[in-house]
Amino acid sequence: MYVKTELDGNCLVIYITNPPVNALSQAVRQAVVDVFKTVETNLDIEAVILTGQGRFFSAGADIKEFGKGDLLPSLPDVLDYIERCRLPVIAALPGTALGGGLEVALSCRYRLSVAAAKVGLPEVNLGLIPGAGGTQRLPRLIGMKKGAEFVTSGKPVGAKEALKLGIIDEIVETDLLEAAKAFARSLIGTTARSPISKMGPPEDWDKAAFDALMAKTKAKARGQVSPIAALEAVEAACTLSFEDGLKAEREIFKTCLENPQRAGLIHAFFAQRQAKKIPFLEAAVPQDVKSIGILGAGTMGSGIAIACASAGYDVLLFDAHTDALDKGITRIHAAFDHNIKTGRMSQPAAHSAKACVTPISDMQDLADVDLVIEAIVEKMDVKRAVFEQLDSICKSDAILASNTSYLNINEIAAATRRPDRVLGMHFFSPANIMKLLEVVRTEKASAQSLATAFAVGAKLGKIAVLSGVCDGFIGNRILKTYRAEAEFLLEDGALPQDIDRVMREFGFAMGPFQVSDLAGLDIAWHNRRKEDSTRDPNARYVDIADKLYDLGRFGQKTQAGWYDYKTGDRTAYPSPLVDDLVIAASQAKNITRRDISDTEILNRIMEAMLSEGRAILDEGIALKASDIDLVMIHGYGFPKYRGGLMFYGGITDK
Ligand code: 3HC
């Protein structure tokens, strides 16, 4: 049953019934059309309400159907039936209406909603544009500028904002359906207002403003086509009749549907949902976590504290150095103040989050916390000593997590008497912003401990991915091969600016050498020195970065690294000195430099990363290819519209 109907006297309530989110699959579309056909013939019906069963009106088209050809009736066909119905249809939103869901609501004559409802047109996130009149109706209703914001950002708004904009007509604080029925009955015998399709074009149409918006959208899209396509459809709404605009929208929608970016983004959507589905954790019940102890008040520890406090956890922030602790608290408060200023957080929410963080200088105060996340110096002996201490301080069922980026957490776990409750929670900097969380499964970690880490990750709004223990886990291990191949390319004939440009054109925000300048060449140098004793002496080693370090070129912080910088200007200027160093490095190894094409640069880097990705899968470090995709997208800036590293390489989950 995809649609349920209830006849209350002369009022027909039609429920879209397709759990969990009332997606508008072919079966739903057919069922809606069939009901509307009966409305035409049953003259006892004098009022019609369209709603959704459960907490969704509808999350839009069934994403699984894209790419499967035309499955009739199409969504625009359904909207036609609703809009042409002999009775004005009232949409009653019991919750969220997204994409095609909102488009259905916009084809109704009036829209009522609960206060918790959200509305939006997120198609852009799937590489699409609204394909059932959303780009034509919404700008007519709320104007070109606001309409453009909806379709290019894909961000939903709450009911209050939707009411202000005129997307919904009323927020119902009492019983939604009773209110909708009363409203529908009040229309009997009156002339209902015209459908949105009969409205004139948006009054705020202004070609110059639109062009400026297009330029801004193009710059922000960084290679993604759907935001630009969505804006083109808005232009059609402003300059064409509704019917012609609708045709233009359909054409643009179809072009997006065929674009590989659509497949990449939809893959990323489902990958995110699949990452939570871990067979051996299905039966595990996460522990209750209310308080979290964070060890280390540096950049990472403070970022983790902000994330945890924002999610409502009580945070005890420990640092052995008073200075560092003070600085950490100042950093945390500054971040919350910034959130207020930028409108990301309300003042009361930021203040209550601030109040959640308590600085402590005595580790004994961690005795009662439910979870500890350690973010101190990356030294095995120090970490082992700290975990041993934590083990004796913390209550027996507390989970102890390390935020280490590459150390063997099995060894850390072995320093405690609770190895089943020790695991990795690897955040990415800035930890309060970056979405990725690698949950690292130690040999003895219990299912419950891992499930708890996933539950905490979800509450923090992170995309948590399971990784096994290995040097660098999933992400940093692949990053290492990326960086290494980029440096081999330097010796073979490319220059840093060539490689960075190719990777930017591929869709990364920055190339590897720009990233290195931002992160600091000194930090990377120290990391390399730690590896000197274990590095295979026969492995190819490029020493250009060491030479830059010797010259004091540490990156942006010294205004010189792989690039030159000017005071107050973060632009990376190619450096003749670096070019000379690169050429000299090739000569020193008797490598004849040659022209390296952009294609070769890209292919070699991708193949190096893919080969590591394959090894990570073969070794069981990642459970599935799509998990690697998520890590690369959300932790390392791999362009989401390419679906992630493995998807790009044609490797998908079985
Ligand atoms: N189609 C098919 N399945 C969908 C779906 C959709 N539109 N939206 C969600 N689902 C599925 C998810 O895959 C998941 O399935 P699973 O349980 O098997 O893993 C299940 O519904 C629940 O989804 P979430 O885990 O994401 O649940 P949340 O409560 O966290 O989030 C949501 C709900 C906000 C609706 C989120 O799922 C979402 O953003 N969905 C996508 C909405 C969207 O992009 N709509 C536009 C579709 S394109 C369109 O409408 C084109 C039209 O213009 C022609």
Residue 521 lies in a domain: yes
> For residue 61, how far is its CA from the centre of ligand 1 (angstroms)?
9
Helix (H) or strand (E) holding 287: none
Mean per-residue pLDDT, 638-650: 98
Residue 516's SS3 state is helix
pLDDT given for residue 269 in this prediction: 98
Side chain identity at residue 627, one-letter code? D
Asked, for residue 275, whether it belongs to a domain, the answer is no
Instruction: Give the nearest ligand 1 atom to 130 CA.
Output: 53
Question: For the chain, what is the radius of gyration of the CA atoms?
Answer: 28
Identify whether residues 349 and 490 lie together within a single domain.
no
Give me the CATH number covering residue 254.
Answer: 3.90.226.10
Locate tokens 């067979």: which residue?
279
Report whether residue 100 contacts ligand 1, using a CB cutoff of 6 Å: yes
Confirm or reject: Cβ of 59 under 6 Å from ligand 1.
yes
Q: Does any domain span residue 597? A: yes
For residues 386 and 240, state if they share a domain.
Answer: no
Decide: residue 584, CB within 10 A, 0-12 exposed, 13-18 middle, 19+ buried.
exposed
pLDDT of residue 111: 98
For residues 214 and 179, membership in a common domain is answered with yes
CA-closest candidate to residue 120, choices 152, 77, 83: 152
CA-to-CA distance for 289 and 441, rounded, in angstroms? 19
CB-ligand 1 contact for 275 (6 Å cutoff): no
Final residue before a domain boundary, out of 218, 243, 258? 258
- What is the CA(567)–ligand 1 centre distance, in A? 47
Closest C-alpha to ligand 1, atom 26: 273
Exposure string for 294-316, b = 16+ CB within 10 A, e = fewer? bbbbbebbbbbbbbbbbbebbbb
Compute, in angstroms, the gap from residue 21 CA to the centroid of ligand 1: 6
Q: DSSP of 302-338, one letter per residue?
A: HHHHHHHHHTT-EEEEE-SSHHHHHHHHHHHHHHHHH
Residue 58 has pLDDT above 90, yes or no: yes
The DSSP secondary-structure symbol of 444 reads: T
Give the mean pLDDT of 111-140.
Answer: 98
332 located within any domain: yes
Whole-number percent of the chain with pLDDT over 90:
96
Mean pLDDT of 350-376: 97
353 C-alpha to center of ligand 1: Å? 30
Same domain, yes or no: 449 and 366: yes
3-class DSSP assignment, residue 432: coil
- Looking at the fold, whether 517 and 442 belong to one and the same domain comes out as no
Q: What CATH number is attached to the domain comprising 602?
A: 1.10.1040.50
Domain of residue 507: give its range. 475-620
Q: Is residue 592 part of a domain?
A: yes
The predicted structure's pLDDT at residue 354: 96
Of 25, 28, 63, 153, best ligand 1 pocket probe by most atoms within 8 Å of the beta carbon: 63
- Check pLDDT > 90 for residue 70: no
Taking residues 225-232, what's their average pLDDT? Answer: 98
CATH of the domain at 407: 3.40.50.720
With respect to residue 644, please indicate whether it lies within any of the assigned structural domains: no
Instruction: Encode pLDDT of 77-88 as tens digits.
Output: 999 999 999 999
CB of 151 within 6 A of ligand 1: the answer is: no
Domain boundary among 433, 451, 467: 467
The residue among 475, 467, 474, 416 whose CA lies nearest residue 442 is 467
Tokens of 64: 């699984």
Q: Which residue has its alpha carbon closest to ligand 1 atom 14?
A: 273
Same domain, 449 and 510: no
Expressed in angstroms and rounded, the spacing between residue 613 Cα and the centre of ligand 1 is: 28
Question: To test ligand 1's pocket by mutation, which of 16, 18, 21 has the most ligand atoms within 8 angstroms of CB?
Answer: 21
Instruction: Confirm or reject: Cβ of 132 under 6 Å from ligand 1.
Output: yes
Instruction: Compute the distance from residue 647 Cα to the ligand 1 centre, in Å.
Output: 20
Does residue 207 sit in the same domain as residue 124? Answer: yes
CB 229 within 8 A of CB 609: no
* Residues 23-36 pLDDT 10s: 999 999 999 999 99
Place of tokens 């045709």: 247
- Among the three residues 234, 258, 282, which one is the final residue of a domain in this structure? 258
HEC letters along 86-153: CCCEEEEECCEEECHHHHHHHHCCEEEEECCCEEECHHHHHCCCCCCCHHHHHHHHHCHHHHHHHHHH
Compute the distance between CA of residue 471 and CA of residue 400 in angstroms, rounded to an integer.
Answer: 20
Ligand 1 atom at minimal distance to the Cα of residue 270: 13
pTM score: 0.95
Q: How confident is the model at residue 567 (pLDDT cuts 50, 70, 90)?
A: very high
Q: What residue's CA is closest to ligand 1, atom 42?
A: 59
Pocket flag, ligand 1, residue 20 (CB < 6 Å)? yes
- Indicate the pLDDT class of residue 527, thresholds 50, 70 and 90: confident
The verdict on the CB of residue 277 being under 6 Å from ligand 1 is: no
pLDDT reading at 561 higher than 90? yes
Tokens of 508: 């990364």
224 with 136, same domain: the answer is yes
Per residue in 289-326, pLDDT (tens digit) is: 999 999 999 999 999 999 999 999 999 999 999 999 99
Q: Is 23 in the pocket of ligand 1 (CB under 6 A)?
A: yes
463 plus 489 within the same structural domain: no
Q: Quote the CA–CA distance of 609 and 475 in Å, as a whole number.
A: 10
| Ligand 1 closest atom vs CA 75 | 54
Shared-domain flag, residues 424 and 500: no
DSSP state of 222: T
**pLDDT of 275-293, one tens digit each?**
999 999 999 999 999 999 9
Average per-residue pLDDT for the chain: 97
Total structural domains in the chain? 3
Whose CA is closest to atom 38 on ligand 1? 59
d(CA 537, CA 529) in angstroms, rounded, equals 14
Residue 239, in any domain of the structure: yes
| pLDDT given at position 542 | 97
* pLDDT band at residue 368 using 50, 70 and 90 as cut-offs: very high
For ligand 1, whether the C-beta of 52 sits within 6 Å is no
From the CA of 126, give the closest atom in ligand 1. 44
97 lines ligand 1 (CB under 6 A): no
If asked whether residues 495 and 361 sit together in one domain, one would say: no
Residue 155 in contact with ligand 1 by CB distance below 6 A? no
Residue 327 has pLDDT above 90, yes or no: yes
Q: Say whether both 442 and 580 belong to one domain.
A: no
Query: Annotated catalytic sites, by residue?
Result: 103, 123
Burial 199-222, CB ≥16 within 10 A → b, else e? bebbeebeeeebeebbeebeeebe
Average pLDDT over residues 173-194: 95
If you ran DSSP here, which 8-state letter would residue 414 be given?
Answer: T
Residues 6+ away with beta carbon under 8 Å from 241: none
pLDDT at 530 exceeding the cut of 90 = no
Could you tell me which of 47, 56, 58 has the C-alpha nearest to residue 5? 47
C-alpha closest to that of 455 among 292, 327, 303, 260: 292
Q: Is the CB of 453 under 6 A from ligand 1?
A: no
Residue 600 Cα, ligand 1 centroid: separation in angstroms? 38
Q: Output the six-digit token pair for 650.
A: 């044609």
Question: How confident is residue 523, by pLDDT bands cut at 50, 70 and 90?
Answer: confident
Q: How far is 362 from 364, CA to CA, in rounded Å?
A: 5
Sequence-distant (6+) residues with CB within 8 A of 653 are 274, 624, 625, 626
CA of 561 to the centre of ligand 1 (A): 44
Q: Which residue has the tokens 């918006």?
A: 213
438 forms beta bridges with 426, 465
| Cβ of residue 154 lying under 6 Å from some atom of ligand 1 | no
Residue with structure tokens 């350690």?
374
489 inside domain: yes
Q: Which residues on neighbouring strands pair with residue 12, listed in sequence order? A: 7, 48
Residue located via tokens 């429920």: 15
Nearest Cα residue to atom 1 of ligand 1: 62
DSSP string, 158-182: EHHHHHHHTSSSEEESS-HHHHHHH
* Ordered strands of the 170-172 beta sheet: 3-8, 11-16, 47-52, 89-93, 110-114, 170-172
